[in-house]
Structure 1
C-alpha cells in the first residue's frame, strides 16, 4: 500500500466516523491542505500536481456547497453559498493564472472559517449530555 492509498483510507475513515459538526471542519482542513499544496506546486513549476490539488480543492468546495441546508440555514446558508461560489471562481482563476496571491487569500478565508467551525463543534460537544 502506498502512502497516498493509506492517506485516502484514513480520510475515508475520518469522514465515515465524523459527526455532521465534525465533518465541516474536516472538509475545511483538507481544503487548506490542497490549497497549500497547490501553492507549493506552482512555485515548483509542477503543473500536473497543481492541477490535481486544485481539482481536489474544487471538489471539497462543491461538497461544502452541497452540504448547505438552504431551508433551515437561512441567511447564514445563503452567505456561505455565496462565499463557496467565490472560492470556486478564485480556484479556477488560480488554475488559469498561476497567481499564488489568490491562494494566500483563500487560505486566510478558509482558515478563518475552519477556526469558527471548530469553535462551533466544540460548543456543541460541550452541550451534549
Structure 2
C-alpha cells in the first residue's frame, strides 16, 4: 500500500512539474532543497548517518543541478553572479555540515534558501504573466 502511495505522489509531482511555469519550477526547486536540508537536520539529530548523507546529497544536487544550472549569467548580470556565490557557499556549507555533523551549518543554508525563496515567491505576481 505504501508503494502505491509513493507512485501516486511521484505522479503528482511529475504532473506539477510538466505544467509549471519557469518561475514555479524555481520555487519547486527551492522547496525541494529546503525539505532536504530539514530532513538532513532531523537525521543528524537522530544519528541516522546514511539518511543524513542522502538528504544532504539531494540538497546539493538540487542546488547545483537545478538552481545553479538555471542561472543566466549573461542576462542576470550582478544578480546572477551574487546567486552563484551564494549557491557555492551553500554547497560548501552542506558538505561541511555532513563531514562535521554541525547542524548550525544546515541552519545557515536553510536561512539562505528561505531568503532567496521568499524573494522568488514575492515576484510571483509579475511572473504570472509568463503563465505561472
Same fold (TM over 0.5): yes
Unaligned regions of 5+ residues in structure 1, if any?
Answer: none
Confirm whether residue 89 of structure 1 aligns to residue 92 of structure 2.
yes
- CA–CA separation in structure 1 for the residues paired with 2:118 and 2:58: 21
Aligned residues: 128
Matched with 1:16 is: 18
Unaligned regions of 5+ residues in structure 2, if any?
Answer: none
Q: Deviations over 1:60-109 (max 9, x none)?
A: 00111100111111111111111111111111111100100111111111
Q: Deviations over 1:104-123 (max 9, x none)?
A: 11111111111110111223
- Shift of the 104–125 alpha-carbon distance from structure 1 to 2, 3 Å rule, reads same
Cα-Cα RMSD: 1.7
**TM-score normalised per structure 2:** 0.89
